[in-house]
Chains A and B, each alone.
Chain A
Amino acid sequence: MRQKKAGGNPAIKKNRLHLTKKNFLKSWQLYVFLLPALTYFIIFHYIPMYGVQIAFKDFYATEGILGSPWAGFDHFTRFFDSYYFWRLLKNTLIINLYQLLLFPLPIIFALMLNELRNGPFKKWSQTLTYAPHFISVVVVVGMLVAFLDPITGLLNHVIMALGGESVPFLTDPDWFRHIYVWSGEWQSLGWGTIIYLAALAGVNPELHEAAKVDGATRLQRIMNINIPSILPTIVVLFILNIGKFMSIGFEKVLLMQNTLNSETSDIIQTFVYQTGLLEGQYSFAAAIGLFDSVINIILLVTINQIARKTSENSLW
């Protein structure tokens, strides 16, 4: 959507304004369709933003948001000075990065599925990998506990039957990240392939035919036709993923947390939940949440910028 830069010529400017208005009137029905979504965002995403100011205030319920006294950066200083600050930041970043590293997996899986001939095997493998997506988080964690329990867990039974020693998966901080990330991947792998499969379906078959005539192997065709064709999709999904960075599924972490693994399982969101909703320190929790969002937005803008410079694909 590149447009020529509007010059200083008032005539052109006026003309364009006129054009916009005309466009608007012509397709006003579309704008009406847009209205509900717009209202939703205004009411639930923009209006509540004024509440962010409690991060800089000492929030008293009776005084309301506007009436509470200002506290400046007190809550931020308290958070940065806290013994747990670096641990929280480190854990949040590592677990997100770890998850991001697995970003190529659904792509690879989609490419593999795409190479399968349509048939019962393909259908089955798709259904089987989609299925876990529909299991709720609470149930997944329940399953993890059941499978990984040091004494009664299935996995430890196998390990012990093979002569190994029982591994305390759920309480060992070294295991937490792996269990969290890989169980998440198990749930989302199949579901994640859907968009890539759709993109792959749109690849022009003539390209493949031409390549076949030229004697390209299957691998070569994947590398040189399929991947370049879905690259824009990959980049956009990657940026969207970055947008979700720092806001990983907090419920699951909370459910998997215990005092023994908190060294790696304590993340910013669980800390916000703890201090904000459970201990009622709203201002402090709002400050931490704001800090979290700021990191998130910096990351998003940076990655978007890099993507635009290097691949011509970007969100804006």
Chain B
Amino acid sequence: MKLNKLFLLFVTTIFLVLAACSDDESKENSEEAAKKAEENLTESGLPIVEEPISLHFMAGKAPTTASDYNEVTVWKKYQDMTNIEIEWEMMPKEGLEEKRNLALASGSYPDVFYTGYMPNNDLIKYGEQGVFLKLNDLIEEHMPNLTKILEEYPDIKKGITFPDGNIYALPTIYDPEFPSLLIGSKPWIREDWLEQLGMEIPETTDEFYEYLKAVKETDLNENGEADEIPFGGTSIGGLRQFLAGSFGINHNGRQHLYTDIDPESKEMRFFPISDNYKELLEYMNKLYSEGLIHESIYTIDATQSYALGSEGLYGGAVVTSAETTYGTEAGGNFVGMLPLEGPDGHRKYTDIGSPLAHMGGFVVTNANENVAATLRWMDYFYSDEGTKLFFMGVEGETYEEKEDGTIDYVDEIKNNPDGLTLEQALKDHITWLGGGYPGIVKEDFFKGAESYPSSLEAAEKLEPYIIEEILPKFTYTQDESKRMAALSADIEKYVDEMQDKFITGNISFSEWDKYVKTIKDMGLEEYMEIEKAAYERYLSN
């Protein structure tokens, strides 16, 4: 039996080793550490700490950003300025949700989730559990710049406050004075093709249809082939959201794609079952069935679509900037469109986001021993100085100030001697190109696709038609968010699926009543109750 004992010993050892691995570090010294951290802080301004400290950031990484943030000009500079070193742990954006959830579920999470796209229901879930810190008082104490913005725009403060009255994440704010950014994706149309066809920019849905049809039937690029694609892109969503305003739905902007406040009755409604929505789908079905929407739009991947756009085959598209997406040559032929007047006279532009772009870009966890320093580190990026650093980099190195006071990247970046594009050249200097960053975005310091003259011009055309009440995402209580998870998994998924089937004609509109009934049977009433409660809470926050 000696061997049996040996085996037992072996197994026990393994267990012990495993147990030791997951053992928590004792928190005896935490108080002492907190005191030490406080003493280390400077009075105000920069540097933030006397003795260098290091913070562990977990950051979502987009393919457009450098793989080592410590080598990026902006972060090197900011480390020198603050005395705070950031240990960057990168999470590639494709597997972001997985990695984030695994880190949280396993209990080994960083000091800060940076550009982690933490969704609202996770914020409240882990916030109530104490994993994410409550920031209400801390913001007032350590973040003068953000406090100023919140006072100036109370709507943003309303939006970031959860039903339990707490703030669990620092927001990404789009300057309300910068509509091109709030709009993001804009509708574009080929100016040269309009001219060739002798048409004006379409003003109504019917004229838009006529234009697309003409593109389909005319060999506008004169290569002898009918290869023109009237409307193309990476998803059907852009077109649907652009057209929503012509059919009188979606009155609260991009963050509310299923419900809105009916401008006539002032009541909240679930618009995917409204007649207006049906008309919208019928119109889109007409376009799709006549081949006016690219047939591959549901399966095409981004690179393929950009290639088609760059070849100049698209007659219309919904993208942030035609120039940056399809290149200056093909993209330069596009011009911004006007919102279209629908069959019932509706004419609004609804595809716009709230200045509170999103929350989960900066979340501080209870693993953080230098909370005050962390918040001060972040607060800088809510100031003009910090925004300039974050978006433009370092003066003389990456940008220069012109005589008229405006700033721009240096020539080496704009017209790179090695032939790199702007995005590629910027990769080693800044990280904002990946998106999802916390902070405030202002027109003066932001040189993205949204600041191109053509984009600003396109946004200007849409501006007079923008809906009045743009709402940020609602926040829910834990219970609500649990119910919502179940309800929306059924309802919203069903709406999305059926909408595509109606558009492509896989299902005929005679099934509409059945569709409406199915949604009601899925618990629409409860869904609406929760939404209404959340809306009322938002108003009274």
Q: Which residues of A contact B (CB under 8 A)?
A: 21, 24-25, 28, 31, 35, 39, 42-43, 47, 59-64, 78, 82-84, 145, 149-152, 166, 168, 170-173, 258-260, 262-263, 275, 277-282
Q: Are B497 and A151 in contact (CB under 8 A)?
A: no
Q: In the assembled complex, how far is the CB of residue A233 from the closest CB belonging to chain B, in whole angstroms?
A: 34
Q: Are B497 and A259 in contact (CB under 8 A)?
A: yes
In the complex the two chains form, what is the Cα distance from A47 to B14 in whole Å? Answer: 12
Q: In the assembled complex, how far is the CB of residue A197 from the closest CB belonging to chain B, in whole angstroms?
A: 39
Residues of chain B within 8 A of A64, CB atoms compared: 107
| Nearest neighbor of B295 in chain A, beta-carbon distance | A150
B73-132 interface (Cβ within 8 A of A): 97-98, 101-102, 104-107, 122, 125-126, 129-131
In the complex the two chains form, what is the Cα distance from A277 to B105 in whole Å? Answer: 10
Q: Are A280 and B122 in contact (CB under 8 A)?
A: yes
0/1 interface trace, chain B 500-526, chain A, CB 8 Å (1 if under): 110010100000000000100110000
In the complex the two chains form, what is the Cα distance from A145 to B298 in whole Å? Answer: 12
Q: Are A282 and B295 in contact (CB under 8 A)?
A: no
Q: Are B295 and A259 in contact (CB under 8 A)?
A: no
Q: A24-B3, A61-B104, A278-B97 are in contact. Are A259 and B298 (CB under 8 A)?
A: yes
Residues of chain A within 8 A of B7, CB atoms compared: 35
| Nearest neighbor of A172 in chain B, beta-carbon distance | B506
Which of A42, A152, A275, A278 is in CB contact (< 8 Å) with B296?
A152
Residues of chain B within 8 A of A145, CB atoms compared: 299
Q: In the assembled complex, how far is the CB of residue A37 from the closest CB belonging to chain B, in whole angstroms?
A: 13
Residues of chain A within 8 A of B496, CB atoms compared: 259
B486 within 8 A of A: yes
B489 within 8 A of A: yes
Q: A24-B3, A258-B298, A281-B485 are in contact. Are A60 and B129 (CB under 8 A)?
A: yes
In the complex the two chains form, what is the Cα distance from A152 to B130 in whole Å? Answer: 53
Q: A31-B3, A262-B497 are in contact. Are A61 and B522 (CB under 8 A)?
A: no
Which of A151, A171, A263, A280 is in CB contact (< 8 Å) with B101?
A280
In the complex the two chains form, what is the Cα distance from A281 to B485 in whole Å? Answer: 9
Candidate in B11, B104, B296 with the most chain A CB atoms within 10 angstroms: B296
0/1 interface trace, chain B 4-21, chain A, CB 8 Å (1 if under): 000100110010001000
In the complex the two chains form, what is the Cα distance from A31 to B4 in whole Å? Answer: 10
0/1 interface trace, chain B 464-507, chain A, CB 8 Å (1 if under): 00000000000000000000011001100110110011001010
Q: In the assembled complex, how far is the CB of residue B481 from the closest CB belonging to chain A, in whole angstroms?
A: 11
Residues of chain B within 8 A of A258, CB atoms compared: 298-299
Q: 13 A-B residue contacts at CB 8 Å?
A: A25-B3, A39-B11, A61-B107, A62-B107, A83-B494, A151-B296, A166-B295, A170-B299, A171-B298, A259-B497, A259-B500, A263-B497, A282-B101
Q: In the assembled complex, how far is the CB of residue B461 from the closest CB belonging to chain A, in whole angstroms?
A: 31
| Nearest neighbor of B229 in chain A, beta-carbon distance | A151
Q: In the assembled complex, how far is the CB of residue A69 from the closest CB belonging to chain B, in whole angstroms?
A: 12
Q: In the assembled complex, how far is the CB of residue A19 from the closest CB belonging to chain B, in whole angstroms?
A: 15
In the complex the two chains form, what is the Cα distance from A261 to B518 in whole Å? Answer: 19
In the complex the two chains form, what is the Cα distance from A3 to B14 in whole Å? Answer: 36
| Nearest neighbor of A28 in chain B, beta-carbon distance | B3
Residues of chain B within 8 A of A25, CB atoms compared: 3
In the complex the two chains form, what is the Cα distance from A282 to B296 in whole Å? Answer: 35
Candidate in A42, A61, A258, A278 with the most chain B CB atoms within 10 angstroms: A61
Q: In the assembled complex, how far is the CB of residue A180 from the closest CB belonging to chain B, in whole angstroms?
A: 15
Residues of chain B within 8 A of A278, CB atoms compared: 97-98, 101
Q: A24-B3, A171-B298, A263-B497 are in contact. Are A277 and B490 (CB under 8 A)?
A: no
15 further A-B pairs in the complex, CB-CB below 8 A; given A62-B130, A152-B296? A24-B3, A31-B3, A43-B18, A60-B129, A61-B107, A82-B490, A84-B493, A150-B295, A166-B295, A172-B506, A260-B500, A260-B504, A275-B489, A277-B102, A282-B105
Residues of chain A within 8 A of B504, CB atoms compared: 171, 260
Q: A28-B3, A259-B497, A260-B504 are in contact. Are A61 and B14 (CB under 8 A)?
A: no
Q: In the assembled complex, how far is the CB of residue B391 from the closest CB belonging to chain A, in whole angstroms?
A: 31
In the complex the two chains form, what is the Cα distance from A260 to B486 in whole Å? Answer: 22
Q: In the assembled complex, how far is the CB of residue B236 from the closest CB belonging to chain A, in whole angstroms?
A: 9
In the complex the two chains form, what is the Cα distance from A215 to B246 in whole Å? Answer: 82
In the complex the two chains form, what is the Cα distance from A115 to B101 in whole Å? Answer: 55
Residues of chain B within 8 A of A149, CB atoms compared: 296, 299
In the complex the two chains form, what is the Cα distance from A280 to B131 in whole Å? Answer: 15
Residues of chain A within 8 A of B493, CB atoms compared: 84
Residues of chain A within 8 A of B122, CB atoms compared: 280
In the complex the two chains form, what is the Cα distance from A275 to B149 in whole Å? Answer: 36
Q: Are B501 and A260 in contact (CB under 8 A)?
A: yes
B285-311 interface (Cβ within 8 A of A): 295-296, 298-299
Q: A152-B296, A260-B298, A262-B497 are in contact. Are A83 and B518 (CB under 8 A)?
A: yes
Q: Are A62 and B522 in contact (CB under 8 A)?
A: no
